[in-house]
Each structure stands twice: as C-alpha cells, then as structure tokens.
C-alpha cells in the first residue's frame, strides 16, 4: 500500500480501465469499459476477451485492471478465462474496491437479472493499493466504500469501528493517514477470512453481512439505482433489525450500528411497500439453500452468526408488521 497512484510497469501489459479511471492513467488503456454496474454483463466480457485476443496476449501477459469493483469483477473474470488464466494485477481506485472487491478472488458478471451469477474464483497475483486514488472519487462513491469499511469493522476489528466513530471529520476530509490505518485493518480482516475459506464453504459467508438484503434491494430497484455500498448499509440495518426481532442481536449493538450508519448519511429506513418484492428477490438469490433463507446476523460487534430464517419472518420484518 502506498499513497502514490502507480500503475505497475510489468512487461506485456494489457491495461483495462473504465471511462472514468482511464483519466487517472498517464498511459493508454487497451480496453475501456463504460463506467457503471450496467457494464457487468456478458457482452462486455466478450468484448474484453476479443480485445485481449486482438492485442495478441499470451498466457504470460499481465492484465492490469485499474478501477473500482465493476471493472475488477469483469476484468478479473476475463483474465481468469483467457487461455485458461492470464496473469492478473489489480489496482483498485475506489475505497470499496480497496477494502473489498479487489481482495479475495471473486470475479463475476450479472446474468439473467441476478447479481454476480456467473463468475470464477481467481485471486490476483498482486493488489496494488494507492490510497491517493480516493482523492478524485465522487462523494457518493467514497461514502459507498465507507459502508464496506463499516461492515468489515463490525465483522472483525473493533479498532476500525472506533476510528469510524471518533474520526468522522478526518474521514469526511479523506485524511490519508486515518484512511490508511482503516484500509490496512480492513485488508487484514478480509485477508484472514479468505485465507481460511476462499470458496465460501464456511466463515467467508460472514462477509455477506447485509448483502442478502442489499442484493434484493439492488435487483428490485434496478442495478445502479443505489450504489452497492448504499445498498449494503441499508442491508446491515435490516440485519440488525432482524437480529433484534429474533432475540439474537443485543439492542445496544443494533442502536450503535444504526447511529453509525446514519452518521455517515446512509438510508436505513424500512420500505414496507417493497416488502413482497424484496422477499421474492431474496428467494431467488443464488445463495439460498433449502426452503428457509440464511442470514448473517450479529450478537454483538465482532460476534457474527449464521441463522436460517423463515421467509414469512423476513416479510413481516420488512413490512414493519
């Protein structure tokens, strides 16, 4: 991790950026993905593969992906497929990608209306983090990354939660020193989880705190209407509410999380009118196993559990009944 916005100078590079991050480069990109979640589709993946072939890439060439989670997900999937796997370096340029998307090897595109339905596990050989990239992030995208920082702190590092609570102004000002500390701690949390469970057979599922709700919200409202982080923050609020209802979550913990989310400007309110469609979307979620649905809940900070919950309980909670 550095503060510099460095693109690695490796031989035979294929640089993949999006239409915003291409402006951060001092060299030419080999493929530029239109920015936005709408680019996480099969057609774009095919275009990238065609561009790789057109550039005469060999398996020893290195795909260098410069951007946020969208370009990382599609670019890493393309790298994993090209000649059964090209070399891959990720240069995350969003806060969300630095603490989450660029780590842990999940690649993917949205397919058939489902988020990340098609993908592979393909960890990058290197992830080069330049904190300086956050400087040019639009405010909404920066805040979106903070949702994943909140999530990661809640899961695995009390110090991160305390930094978020006590250094709100410094974080709002994008103070590099404070951010470096928080980002580094998040990397250690995610790294430790992924090292134990790359393919999500067990503990990696904890990283999905708030995500079942978030994915449902994203698919009901249309991908892109909410940023991923905004949806995750909303989902974390729902996970707290569900936990309290089930007698799993301490009231004080839920209150603390709601306070933190609203301090950072996230929407946490119920949307009773959408309850039925949200449950329908969750039922179809690819992570569902059996008739009940699995949810990641917390007893307290850094104390996470997985619970099977009846769909009707979820519907009633979402409807505010």
The residues annotated with a catalytic role in the active site are 84, 106, 148, 190, 200, 204, 208, 211, 215, 228
* Residue 228 C-beta: closest distance to ligand NAD, Å: 4
- Sheet containing 31-33: give its strands across: 31-33, 13-18, 62-67, 87-92, 126-127
Specify the DSSP class assigned to residue 2: B
- Contacts (CB under 6 A) with ligand NAD, residues 50-69: 67-69
The reply to whether 206 sits near ligand NAD by the rule CB under 6 A is: no
Q: Do residues 181 and 188 lie in contact, with contact meaning Cβ atoms separated by under 8 Å?
A: no
- Give the residue closest to ligand NAD by C-beta: 69
Q: Do residues 31 and 46 lie in contact, with contact meaning Cβ atoms separated by under 8 Å?
A: no
- Binding ligand NAD by CB under 6 A: which of 63, 71, 282, 297? 71
Extended strands (E) in 128-277 = none
- Binding ligand NAD by CB under 6 A: which of 120, 136, 268, 277? 136
Q: Do residues 91 and 64 lie in contact, with contact meaning Cβ atoms separated by under 8 Å?
A: yes
Six-digit token string for 178: 């404070």
The reply to whether 137 sits near ligand NAD by the rule CB under 6 A is: yes
Q: Do residues 271 and 234 lie in contact, with contact meaning Cβ atoms separated by under 8 Å?
A: no
Query: Which residue lies nearer to ligand NAD by CB, 94 or 249?
Result: 94
The reply to whether 161 sits near ligand NAD by the rule CB under 6 A is: no
Phi and psi at residue 166, to the nearest 5°: -100, -20
- Binding ligand NAD by CB under 6 A: which of 20, 80, 212, 304? 20
Interaction site with ligand NAD (CB under 6 A): 18, 20-21, 24, 35-37, 40, 67-71, 73, 93-94, 96-97, 100-101, 104, 106, 116, 133, 136-137, 141, 144, 228
């Amino acid at each position: 991790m550095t503060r510099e916005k460095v693109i690695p100078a490796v031989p035979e590079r294929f640089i993949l950026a999006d239409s915003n991050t291409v402006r951060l480069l001092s060299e030419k990109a080999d493929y530029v993905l239109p920015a936005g979640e709408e680019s996480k589709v099969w057609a774009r993946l095919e275009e990238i593969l065609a561009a790789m072939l057109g550039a005469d890439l060999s398996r020893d060439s290195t795909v260098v992906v410069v951007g946020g989670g969208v370009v990382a997900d599609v670019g890493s999937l393309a790298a994993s497929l090209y000649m059964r796997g090209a070399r891959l370096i990720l240069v995350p340029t969003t806060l969300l990608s630095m603490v989450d998307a660029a780590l842990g090897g999940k690649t993917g595109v949205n397919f058939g209306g489902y988020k990340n339905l098609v993908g592979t596990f393909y960890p990058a050989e290197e992830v080069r983090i330049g904190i300086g990239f956050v400087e040019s992030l639009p405010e909404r995208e920066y805040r979106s990354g903070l949702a994943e920082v909140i999530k990661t702190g809640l899961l695995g590092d009390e110090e991160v939660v305390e930094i978020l609570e006590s250094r709100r102004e410094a974080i709002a000002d994008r103070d590099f020193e404070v951010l470096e500390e928080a980002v580094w701690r998040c990397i250690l949390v995610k790294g430790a989880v992924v090292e134990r469970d790359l393919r999500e057979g067990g503990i990696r599922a904890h990283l999905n705190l708030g995500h079942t709700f978030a994915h449902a919200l994203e698919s009901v409202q249309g991908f892109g209407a909410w940023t991923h982080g905004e949806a995750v923050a909303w989902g974390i609020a729902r996970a707290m509410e569900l936990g309290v209802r089930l007698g799993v979550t301490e009231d004080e913990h839920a209150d603390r999380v709601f306070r933190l989310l609203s301090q950072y400007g996230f929407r946490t309110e119920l949307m009773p009118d959408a309850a039925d469609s949200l449950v329908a979307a969750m039922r179809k979620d690819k992570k569902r196993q059996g008739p009940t649905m699995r949810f990641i809940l917390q007893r307290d900070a850094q104390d996470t559990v997985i619970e099977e919950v009846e769909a009707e309980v979820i519907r009633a909670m979402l409807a505010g009944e």
